[in-house]
Structure 1
Amino acid sequence: MAIDLSLDRIRAVLAQLPQYTRPTIHITGTNGKGSVVALLSSILQASNITTGRFTSPHLVARYDSICINGSPISESLYDEVKAYVKTADDQIHAGLTNFELLTLIALQAFERNQVDVVVLEVGLGGRLDATNIVPDDAIWVSGLTAVDLDHQAFLGGSVEAIAREKAAIARPGRPFVLGPQLAHPDVAYVVHDVVKERGAHLLDHIRISKDIDGDPTSFALSQERFSPPLGDTFLASLPCFPDTILKGRLPLCGEHQLQNLSVALTVISALFTHPPPTTMTSRCDVYKSRISPSTITKGIESVRWPGRLSFHSVPTPDAPDSQELVVLADGAHNAASAATLSAYITHLLSHLHPPETTRPRRLNLIYILGLSHSPPKTPLETLSPLFPPTLPNNGHQLDVQISVAILPFIPPTDMPWIKIEPSVNIRTTINQLFTPDQVEKFGLQVRDFLQPNSTAAAQTETHITNTELPLNGALVEALKWASSASHRDQDEGGMCLVIVAGSLYLVADFYRYLIHIGRGPDVYPDPFLGQSTN
């Protein structure tokens, strides 16, 4: 079933199911909401609070949408709860959408496991999103990350209209955290009005300081054993712990993650400064007693959120024993997230180790791209921030060469509305973005990898094992292509960085490849490898 925003169906089915009573933190936004959910979940887990996490879309497989203490629920629990919810749906002929069904599976799984706190990510928008079915007396805190243009066909054609839809998750009498809106400051006025209309308490995000003294000044991209750049160090003071300055290093890369951290920390502080609903006061008091400045810092420093400016050192399909590819994977899928990726690439280039000679250093940037077809969003809007790249002006001479592989991704399970942008449209867009002089300057090469292996690319409903995951054959061929360029550059003393981007679904294909070759723990330290939650 396609996207059909309405709460009527899910309300009807929910009335047939056991009451949902878990204390819930509800997060929406255009960009960054997944990172905030990951941060909150990690902080709560570090505080010895059993945490349910629901995010969408799934990454490697459908089960990773629903996690308890960082691990996906088991196949048996998923299937059991799904059958239970489907029976309730069939009895009243409600006709749940796939996402509504998934949302109810998550809520019922959390309820069955009696998790302490649930961190819930909105799927699309807010007001009519299936996650907004959670009762008012279960919502502890709500929050909004950065708002930008995306899904205009469903949410409205302006940032203000989208913000109004997203802010509508605010609940009467409950705190609502407004995250930084650097790209569109006027969003704050819209949110203020919506939150006031709904009788919620608006909280502005706390300010996070970057601890410059704690950051490395450079890193090596061509070293024999690659170590990814470290994230930013931070300083923060929380209203709930006014006498303590939090200091630590955020593993998530990019300065925008400091903005996401400010949302997460404001939510944590709101747990203390705003009493929970009376129906769960005693339980929440116990949970709050476990949260301290040290557990907050521990949770931040141990957070993982794959596919968001994530580095991986990867053996290549054609030469597994040779020097590995350095891959930066990022699910940049709209103009705002592409701009963030572009800014981070520029940041990386400006922090490369100084050259040992005065000769320009050759760097091959190899982009492996796949886009969703999602009108009115166009490839031009998404790719304009990426191409041509902005080179740093730091005195380092760089001879940057650019190669682009265009390929399809494997459509995600149970999401038939996801369509692949035709490669010809992506190629045409790239040709628009580079002038003839820039084509020559960057030695631009663009190659299509049109068809994944038909057998390996088949969708699967099975649980995760190394043999049951679908494998994108086009991605494997693109990595081989990148490998040959990388080896050539390294033989000539150059460097190479592979960037997998354009769609989180393509990033998912990349992670399935890592699991296929036995590098799963490099992506996820414990989920998906036989340690799922029953």
Structure 2
Amino acid sequence: MPIDLGLARITKLLGHLNNPQHAYKSIHIAGTNGKGSTLAYISSILTQANIKNGKFTSPHIINYHDCITINNQTYPKSKFDQINESVIQVNNDLDLQCTEFEILTATAFKIFAVEKIEMALIEVGVGGRLDATNVLVPYDGKFGVIATGITKIGLDHEKLLGGSLSAIAQEKAGIIKYKIPCFVDCSNDEVVLDTIRAKAEESLAPLYIVEPNRDFIKFSPLQGSYQVNNLSLALQIIKCLPYKITDEVIEQGVSKTHWPGRLQLIQHKNLGEILIDGAHNESAAIELGNYLKEKYGSESIVFIIGMTKGKAVDNVLKHILKENDVVIPTLFSQPDNMPWIKPESIKRLGNAAKKYSNIRMLNDDNVHIGQVFKYLEKEETLLNRPIVICGSLYLCGDVLREV
């Protein structure tokens, strides 16, 4: 079923599963962009410090179960399937009518309890206030949320969260917990920070506006100038935890951080180096555009672009395309267990892109990444140009499966 925000169904489901989320401490992260990177840093550092942790992020990249990791390693599919099927059975037997994301959230919480983790690292799915992950309660000395974090907030999912930054910030700030410290990226717009301040004050939650700390960014393998903000947020959260983690361990953790589909350079056997990035909203597109200017300058780029239906296509393309670039629109394959996600039509992508760049339409209605790669292997006029694939994490997943 489609996204249907609310906590009633997930609360009932978890109750019938004996509330597995009450078996460990948690860190809860909301925001528009940077949530996954922030949690990837935290997970890598905790893993290096021998603190057993489970991470739940969304969407998945390659396989449905890769959104759940233990100590930074994807949870085995056989174990995932077993627990996921047991959760689905409870949902069906009791006719709770939980959404796919609610079932996945309950599966993650159950896995973390079964694996006896110390710390759960939880990324909000959509928004925060009514997101399924927000069933988590404040830390009481035994279990619950020990810290919340809010990354950069921009316009995205406006139909669900509201059409202004303040409305969206209000939803994201809904994860702030009573008397639990909250850490916020300082690069947020002032209206966002004011909204978060008000919610923190109402919740008696200590609030920390996190400034960039450049002490460890040189060790990060993740690309993009914005990573200094994500890493700084992660480090401030790490410092508030009840563990003694040395700078040496932090350095090792940062250097071993991996987060696919975000300014990731991959190698194609025939096409060489390809940059993939899941930028799918305006804030992310601005950051991608800045990175492309820095890396490629005025060089002509071949863009392979696919986006989810309903996204503001122009608001993404206008920040990344130049007149001398070439755009090839494509579809992405249907993501597992996410029937509400559909790719934007090739025709609409092409019509939007031709306002900014040259376009190559391989087909009006049915092109996927494998066909685009075969076309580029034979198309001599586009040889030796940088290739950038962006617009959707689902498209990035197709690419990673293909190569």
TM-score by length of 2: 0.94
Decide which of 362, 382, 389 is 1:448's aligned counterpart: 362
Q: Deviations over 1:387-441 (max 9, x none)?
A: 227xxxxxxxxxxx4221111100211111112111111111122235xxxxxxx
Q: In the alignment, residue 209 of structure 2 is paired with which amino acid?
A: D
Contact 2:34 2:151 in 1 (8 A): yes
Contact 1:365 1:496 in 2 (8 A): yes
Q: Deviations over 1:111-161 (max 9, x none)?
A: 000012111110000000011112223101100000000000000110110
- Equivalent residue number for residue 414 of structure 1: 337
- Equivalent residue number for residue 161 of structure 1: 167
Task: State, as a whole percentage, how many aligned pairs show the same letter.
Answer: 32
Counterpart Cα distance in 1 of 2:386 and 2:40:
26
SS state at 1:432 partner: coil
Q: In the alignment, residue 322 of structure 2 is paired with which amino acid?
A: P
Decide which of 310, 315, 319 is 1:381's aligned counterpart: 315
Counterpart Cα distance in 1 of 2:239 and 2:209:
12
Matched, 1:370 2:306: yes
- Equivalent residue number for residue 498 of structure 1: 387
Unaligned runs of 5+ in 2: none
Contact 1:403 1:446 in 2 (8 A): yes
Shift of 1:489: 6.3
Counterpart Cα distance in 2 of 1:86 and 1:446:
44
Counterpart Cα distance in 2 of 1:511 and 1:70:
18
Counterpart Cα distance in 1 of 2:255 and 2:280:
26
- Equivalent residue number for residue 192 of structure 2: 187
Shift of 1:483: 2.9
Counterpart Cα distance in 1 of 2:33 and 2:217:
25
Matched, 1:510 2:390: no
Contact 2:265 2:275 in 1 (8 A): yes
Counterpart Cα distance in 2 of 1:127 and 1:197:
15
Shift of 1:176: 0.4
- Equivalent residue number for residue 293 of structure 2: 346
- Equivalent residue number for residue 35 of structure 2: 33
Q: In the alignment, residue 260 of structure 1 is paired with which amino acid?
A: N
Matched, 1:270 2:240: yes
Q: Deviations over 1:361-405 (max 9, x none)?
A: x9441101101112xx4211221111227xxxxxxxxxxx42211
How well do the aligned residues superpose, as a CA RMSD in angstroms?
A: 1.8
Contact 2:217 2:228 in 1 (8 A): no
- Equivalent residue number for residue 203 of structure 1: 208
Counterpart Cα distance in 2 of 1:67 and 1:254:
24
Structure 2 CA distance for partners of 1:403 and 1:432, relative to 1, 3 Å = closer
Contact 2:353 2:359 in 1 (8 A): no
Decide which of 222, 229, 232 is 1:259's aligned counterpart: 229
Matched, 1:308 2:231: no
Equivalent residues, number: 397
Structure 2 CA distance for partners of 1:311 and 1:247, relative to 1, 3 Å = closer
Structure 2 CA distance for partners of 1:427 and 1:299, relative to 1, 3 Å = same
Contact 1:451 1:474 in 2 (8 A): no
Contact 1:500 1:507 in 2 (8 A): yes
Contact 2:309 2:341 in 1 (8 A): yes
Q: In the alignment, residue 193 of structure 1 is paired with which amino acid?
A: A
- Equivalent residue number for residue 334 of structure 1: 281
Shift of 1:313: 1.8
- 1:289-304 aligned at under 5 Å gives the runs 289=244, 291-304=245-258
- Equivalent residue number for residue 219 of structure 2: 249
- Equivalent residue number for residue 428 of structure 1: 351
SS state at 1:118 partner: strand
Which structure: larger Rg? Answer: 1
Matched, 1:144 2:140: no
Q: Deviations over 1:229-262 (max 9, x none)?
A: xxxxxx2xxxxxxxxxx57421111101111111
Q: In the alignment, residue 50 of structure 2 is paired with which amino acid?
A: N
Q: In the alignment, residue 32 of structure 2 is paired with which amino acid?
A: T
- Equivalent residue number for residue 65 of structure 2: 63
Shift of 1:91: 3.6
Counterpart Cα distance in 1 of 2:126 and 2:11:
17
Matched, 1:483 2:377: yes
Unaligned runs of 5+ in 1: 210-234, 236-245, 272-284, 317-323, 351-361, 390-400, 435-443, 453-472, 515-534
Q: Deviations over 1:254-298 (max 9, x none)?
A: 101111111111111122xxxxxxxxxxxxx4xx13x21111111
Q: In the alignment, residue 177 of structure 1 is paired with which amino acid?
A: F
Counterpart Cα distance in 2 of 1:191 and 1:363:
41
Counterpart Cα distance in 2 of 1:346 and 1:50:
40
Contact 1:250 1:301 in 2 (8 A): yes
Structure 2 CA distance for partners of 1:87 and 1:259, relative to 1, 3 Å = same
Shift of 1:451: 5.8
Q: Deviations over 1:436-471 (max 9, x none)?
A: xxxxxxxx342234566xxxxxxxxxxxxxxxxxxx
Shift of 1:9: 0.4
Contact 1:450 1:474 in 2 (8 A): no
Contact 1:248 1:297 in 2 (8 A): no
